[in-house]
Structure 1
């Protein structure tokens, strides 16, 4: 006998299949419509599922059935299994147990989430292989994965690399979310919900210690200040020695040093009005970030300008190790990665008539203070590469969600403004002449020619976005729900790029390095050599455009605890502007025709099946998807119109395609045992990309009609390469995560509780780590295994843990270093780490 009608009635009482999604509008996590009573997920399984009823002030809400993941919205229940989206929910306790205290560690739990970072600014987050161009940072474009914390949109990924502070849960939504989650969520969204203030006093504290001098502390206290006012204050700090030893400085680099503080006030002047004021401050100040020597590959550059010949010009120089897993480097420039961010927000929720009116007002800032070694060697080639940035961001969202028996909807508006200002410096050292100039030139043997050449950069972005959106749910029958949505977006970007390059002329004076042929030092041999390396450039690009995103969801209750759904979405990622410089024309003027980046246009199809069985002790969800993107924003390298300096910048690939199948399974056969298995198969390719950057084996050579064989020194290289049919970077065809936990009743020192052991693991198959696939930058498949064991009661939890237990040696990313010398650098993953944690609640 089918129970679908009964299920439908229960769901309607909890605001419908997508009701909590609709209340979320564009700025809140799916299933995270936290009213002031504090939405609670169920006790999480290792895979993010749940095992017990939600905790709530409302007894009806507290009576959730086993196997549900429940949150509250206006004191009503929503089960994740009723939401026709590919969504994974991870509770805060799961994050704590598995040591997933930032987004990077979250990837071990989510097979289709990819995270690549060489420092906070150079960070890329993709879902199903799409979201951000690989390998090139540019302030003038947007990410395709939306990051939301407590309903506030974080525009820059770098501003979201903070450690999690008092997180209640994280939802990862896969696929375009353009109408519900707004701006530039063509690949999906990551929604982080922190714990809300409570009107009952509560607190928790946690201390961890481990090898590499790892120390981490967390504390959170919440309670009432009056009958209508509650507060919560949370603090998190992490410190760890680096895992790579720099033989030049004598420091362990790539350390961790972070502090996070979050506070919130909840005011309930009446049962119908809730006002939440939140503020946070986060600081990361590690000795970071550096890469290690991975390997050398032969390019088409002249043999005397490749890595082996160039390093031989410096007698006595030798890389500290050619085995990257010796974890040694010799970077000689100062390293820093100070990343400060914070902000404040006010959220007002007013139960008005048959719906809820919500306003979210927020301001955020980001201060980035980097120092880098751009040549990736121990030679003084680049002595400074420092581009500090300050950003201010303002957002305002207003939405109204309406609910009725057959129809519910949300309508709203969103405004966003960002100002981003970078003032940086790049300086070359005494080794630059030999490294960067042709050996046939006598100037290459004079260290003074390029020593002290300086580029002072002033880069400004003003970014405005306005939107109106609506989403409708029509419950056509007791089983069928039809959900169309639309969003109209206006985007405007104004940029300013001014790079002033100066160097020493042959007469010893400091001169501007310019492409202006009328400059009296234009033909000076020293300034000419400097101009071939870098020259001044100024331009002010602009972009503005309207776009319309729309989608249609169909969901059907096949039977009790079995729902099928289908989705079509037409989504956009706004266009952008190049703010890292553009190629120059032969007359020295910037090639403004490539300063603007066209919007991405996404067509997405998805079908899914959500099921629970065995008395809801088991959950199996299946998803199939097909995503096509026209004008995909990608990295290119070009010497347009005979420019004598190669430039990397963003442009548009004609078309990419990503398609695949995902499965999520979790089971709790008893109170003692739980397990999960998540997997994804992803087929991905550039369908058409004829002017892509060439891989290193087809780069660095001369120009001419006859192109040399790959990896043949001294031959001609193509200006661009056709990579149609090749892999997208960063995407594994196969990815899995799995784990289990087993517990037994136990009594320790007179305290009754549970003794438990847990195991979690992940696997990724081979993937490309370069914008265009190279024979030198594929990363082999790897697996990571983590174990934990401990004893817990209602009041405390003490456990030991081992992460990367088998000390798997693998690369997080491989990068082609500048200059086509053949040097490949590596970002290493953490080695085996171990330690212990004590957690208290009161």
Structure 2
């Protein structure tokens, strides 16, 4: 990895040098982006967004877009990305299962990804200050000194580009202004929660400003990890924890530190250069999971003393018996019985560490032409262990260590040709490498699978894009955009014995195999919008998007080393944006229809590809149609009171399914209902959120603002294959919908520079599941789930200066 990493740094240095040279040769420069809001904008709740690479009022942007500023996030007690999107219609962002480490699953309108593996593309574009973040690992961003978040729903293939078939989520940091301001806040709450945040803004020179921000977060977990034999001393297993509690530790804890700095150089009214750097360290115990089903009588997966894996290891609603190791001994499965297996020790802690630098340069070449250059480099590492059965049994255990770097360069030109025509053209390039080292011990398989993988994954992407916006009439706007993308990915398999040297005898046919994916794609967007009055804007759009193809990253035999093609979507969308009753009611409604082709689904059972045994194979499952409606509103019925909310309904129908994906003979995509019925519908039903607050003015004593938020998450399916009635997957593997309520009351002094807030999340202490991990289909006999956080309280003191 190291030689390629130095190459990435060299590319960044070259890009940065070109940026600096550009500053010297370009006398004119344009400032873009986060302009301060006027008093009228603050009063009316307007947010300025840059979703179309130019500043526009949210209500003037003909896109399905949710924008949330820093004040809204604070009012709702939101501290990370997953908190923000709970209020956005059709958006799902949840922490991934423990098997996928410190990552997230993300989808918009049912399109996205939940697998952290670098062979898979996210399907939802994630951006920090216009810099693409290509992986789901570490992607539940903390809202550290964020100015606003924009959530763009629907394909963004011509605007934000890479792998944004479902949509894009964009973070924008606060810009340094040199005003000498800043803030400091401290939070204390349930289970020794401690959050410290601070930010300060400096003027270093008349044209040079800086801003530095930091965050520190600690909290004990809410799922106990209990020593099984300490709690059940007659079990005959080694005791690792003594004492009356038998608790080894807690899962679902927090251990997060972050630091971010930004330099902003403004040598003239037409030049702006921002250089940012950040560092994140996140160390915590593995995901807060509990065992829901356990049944595998095979002696190959029994505990070290021969205790079978069964329901005795189901601990309870907020505890588990995970051990994070596997013992040495002869394999007791049906094939290669007696094969020696080594003991493996892991760490219950999950570690994620990252740093990155970026340069954003904007230059006004004239009053009507500006150029933007965005250069970035990022590295991260991630280590985590996975106890697949959450018990002293030995169904499966794994160590995982990922090392990643990413470099990107984007250049775009905005031109106002005349009063009627605006044009954007640009180019994009990125290069990426992830090395995925893993030591797996899968004893539920019919053959002994104890092996090391050390797989380098290379990805690069090149694109050119353009958009033209035409206003033939004052009230009428036409938008046409296109993007051409050329992608390459190669994945090299290493399958060695645990000594890291000799070839594994059962997977050796895969060792050294290099799989390559190359693909090109042209996307387009055509939109028309018409402003009927200052209060009403209507628009209609046809747009396309895609998620890149690749090769299955987890083959257990040569037949599973199969590629898969990109999945694509064409979206037909119409919407209306309104500001009614003297701007006391804002109501936005969107309806859409998705024509979805070559859906990528990961199969956990695939005897059709190499016989029985483990499977984790992504394949193109077929074509589907999806329709939905999205509603957002905010109202000010009386002065001081605000009511806001959103709702979305999604309906998914498979049109045809590839028979081989559901275990049948290979053939053309089938519309036979019996074939289609073997797949689940990924996402259907209602998701909604509503919140209300009232600011009571206390005169010289400041103000008090109580707020209540209620969110509804629709039910989610389990595995992609439909569960048989009465099966463990049907009984335990589905994820029911749930409704949560949060409450907060905030006091602010008269100067509004000191606030004290008391919050309660999950007010009614609802027990619910964020996700589930079902390994019954591959023969492990284990099914686990991640319960959400229980009721928690916290008090926050914040001082602005």
The answer as to whether partners of 1:796 and 1:840 remain within 8 angstroms in 2 is yes
The residue number in structure 1 matching 2:44 is: 67
What is the CA distance between 1:752 and its match in structure 2?
Answer: 3.1
Alignment of 1:462-473 (within 5 A): 462-473=458-469
The residue number in structure 2 matching 1:760 is: 709
Counterparts of 1:375 and 1:692, CA distance in 2: 29
Relative to structure 1, the CA distance from residue 641 to residue 841 in structure 2 (aligned partners, 3 Å threshold; closer, same or farther) is closer
What is the CA distance between 1:157 and its match in structure 2?
Answer: 1.5
The residue number in structure 2 matching 1:287 is: 285
Counterparts of 1:725 and 1:742, CA distance in 2: 50
The residue number in structure 1 matching 2:685 is: 733
What is the CA distance between 1:322 and its match in structure 2?
Answer: 4.2
Counterparts of 1:436 and 1:791, CA distance in 2: 59
CA-to-aligned-CA distance 1:210-268 (integer Å, 9 cap, x gap): 01111111100012111000000000111111111000261111211101110000001
Counterparts of 1:760 and 1:212, CA distance in 2: 23
SS of aligned partner of 1:212: helix
* Unpaired segments ≥5 residues, structure 1: 1-33, 41-53, 56-60, 298-302, 439-449, 505-509, 516-530, 586-590, 705-720
Q: Find the partner of 2:760 among 797, 802, 825.
A: 802
CA-to-aligned-CA distance 1:288-339 (integer Å, 9 cap, x gap): 1252112358xxxxx85599x9689944987677474243444443322101
Relative to structure 1, the CA distance from residue 641 to residue 246 in structure 2 (aligned partners, 3 Å threshold; closer, same or farther) is closer
Alignment of 1:43-58 (within 5 A): 54-55=36-37
Structure 1 stretch 274-283 or stretch 792-801: which is displaced more?
A: 792-801
The answer as to whether partners of 1:654 and 1:688 remain within 8 angstroms in 2 is yes
Matched, 1:654 2:622: yes
The residue number in structure 1 matching 2:794 is: 835
Matched, 1:791 2:747: yes
The residue number in structure 1 matching 2:359 is: 346
The residue number in structure 1 matching 2:135 is: 156
Matched, 1:780 2:748: no
Counterparts of 1:356 and 1:37, CA distance in 2: 9
Counterparts of 2:297 and 2:139, CA distance in 1: 43
Counterparts of 2:652 and 2:740, CA distance in 1: 24
Instruction: After the TM superposition, list the runs of 4 or more consecutive aligned residues in structure 1 that deviate by more than 6 angstroms.
Output: 72-77, 309-313
SS of aligned partner of 1:173: strand
The answer as to whether partners of 1:655 and 1:689 remain within 8 angstroms in 2 is yes
Relative to structure 1, the CA distance from residue 72 to residue 174 in structure 2 (aligned partners, 3 Å threshold; closer, same or farther) is closer
SS of aligned partner of 1:95: helix
Alignment of 1:358-437 (within 5 A): 358-382=372-396, 384-403=397-416, 404-427=418-441, 432=443
Counterparts of 1:417 and 1:252, CA distance in 2: 39
CA-to-aligned-CA distance 1:634-682 (integer Å, 9 cap, x gap): 1123234644543221111121222101111110123320001210111
The residue number in structure 2 matching 1:722 is: 675
Structure 1 stretch 642-651 or stretch 827-836: which is displaced more?
A: 642-651
Counterparts of 2:591 and 2:743, CA distance in 1: 32
Structure 1 stretch 468-477 or stretch 119-128: which is displaced more?
A: 119-128
Counterparts of 1:642 and 1:602, CA distance in 2: 31
The residue number in structure 2 matching 1:17 is: none
The answer as to whether partners of 2:294 and 2:311 remain within 8 angstroms in 1 is no
Counterparts of 2:73 and 2:312, CA distance in 1: 37
Counterparts of 1:551 and 1:618, CA distance in 2: 30
Structure 1 stretch 824-833 or stretch 329-338: which is displaced more?
A: 329-338
CA-to-aligned-CA distance 1:503-522 (integer Å, 9 cap, x gap): 99xxxxx985425xxxxxxx
What is the CA distance between 1:540 and its match in structure 2?
Answer: 0.3
Structure 1 stretch 355-364 or stretch 87-96: which is displaced more?
A: 87-96
Alignment of 1:433-512 (within 5 A): 454-501=450-497, 512=503
TM-score (norm 1): 0.79
Counterparts of 2:167 and 2:359, CA distance in 1: 25
TM-score (norm 2): 0.83
The answer as to whether partners of 2:556 and 2:614 remain within 8 angstroms in 1 is no
The answer as to whether partners of 2:517 and 2:551 remain within 8 angstroms in 1 is yes
The answer as to whether partners of 2:116 and 2:136 remain within 8 angstroms in 1 is no
What is the CA distance between 1:103 and its match in structure 2?
Answer: 2.1
The answer as to whether partners of 1:162 and 1:282 remain within 8 angstroms in 2 is no
What is the CA distance between 1:138 and its match in structure 2?
Answer: 2.9
Alignment of 1:7-46 (within 5 A): 39=34
What is the CA distance between 1:137 and its match in structure 2?
Answer: 4.2
Counterparts of 1:421 and 1:323, CA distance in 2: 36
Counterparts of 1:436 and 1:574, CA distance in 2: 31
The residue number in structure 2 matching 1:43 is: none
Relative to structure 1, the CA distance from residue 639 to residue 727 in structure 2 (aligned partners, 3 Å threshold; closer, same or farther) is closer
The residue number in structure 2 matching 1:745 is: 697
Counterparts of 2:645 and 2:630, CA distance in 1: 11
Q: Find the partner of 1:638 among 596, 601, 606.
A: 606
What is the CA distance between 1:489 and its match in structure 2?
Answer: 0.8
The residue number in structure 2 matching 1:265 is: 263
The residue number in structure 2 matching 1:101 is: 79
The residue number in structure 1 matching 2:89 is: 111
The residue number in structure 2 matching 1:130 is: 111
Counterparts of 1:474 and 1:38, CA distance in 2: 22
The residue number in structure 2 matching 1:668 is: 636
Counterparts of 1:829 and 1:759, CA distance in 2: 19
The residue number in structure 2 matching 1:275 is: 273
Structure 1 stretch 664-673 or stretch 205-214: which is displaced more?
A: 664-673
Q: Find the partner of 1:91 among 69, 72, 75.
A: 69
* Unpaired segments ≥5 residues, structure 2: 1-28, 228-240, 242-247, 326-346, 666-673, 724-729
The residue number in structure 1 matching 2:505 is: 514
The answer as to whether partners of 2:568 and 2:596 remain within 8 angstroms in 1 is yes
Q: Find the partner of 2:645 among 673, 677, 680.
A: 677
Relative to structure 1, the CA distance from residue 37 to residue 570 in structure 2 (aligned partners, 3 Å threshold; closer, same or farther) is closer
Relative to structure 1, the CA distance from residue 75 to residue 68 in structure 2 (aligned partners, 3 Å threshold; closer, same or farther) is farther
Structure 1 stretch 262-271 or stretch 767-776: which is displaced more?
A: 767-776
Counterparts of 2:313 and 2:609, CA distance in 1: 41
SS of aligned partner of 1:401: strand
Counterparts of 1:256 and 1:344, CA distance in 2: 25
Structure 1 stretch 637-646 or stretch 232-241: which is displaced more?
A: 637-646
Relative to structure 1, the CA distance from residue 80 to residue 625 in structure 2 (aligned partners, 3 Å threshold; closer, same or farther) is same
Q: Find the partner of 2:586 among 616, 619, 623.
A: 619
Counterparts of 2:690 and 2:183, CA distance in 1: 28
Matched, 1:812 2:770: yes
The answer as to whether partners of 1:305 and 1:821 remain within 8 angstroms in 2 is no
Counterparts of 2:117 and 2:54, CA distance in 1: 43
The answer as to whether partners of 1:418 and 1:462 remain within 8 angstroms in 2 is yes
Counterparts of 1:102 and 1:180, CA distance in 2: 25
CA RMSD of aligned residues (A): 3.0
What is the CA distance between 1:565 and its match in structure 2?
Answer: 0.4
The residue number in structure 1 matching 2:657 is: 689
Counterparts of 1:801 and 1:66, CA distance in 2: 26
Matched, 1:191 2:159: no
Relative to structure 1, the CA distance from residue 492 to residue 437 in structure 2 (aligned partners, 3 Å threshold; closer, same or farther) is closer
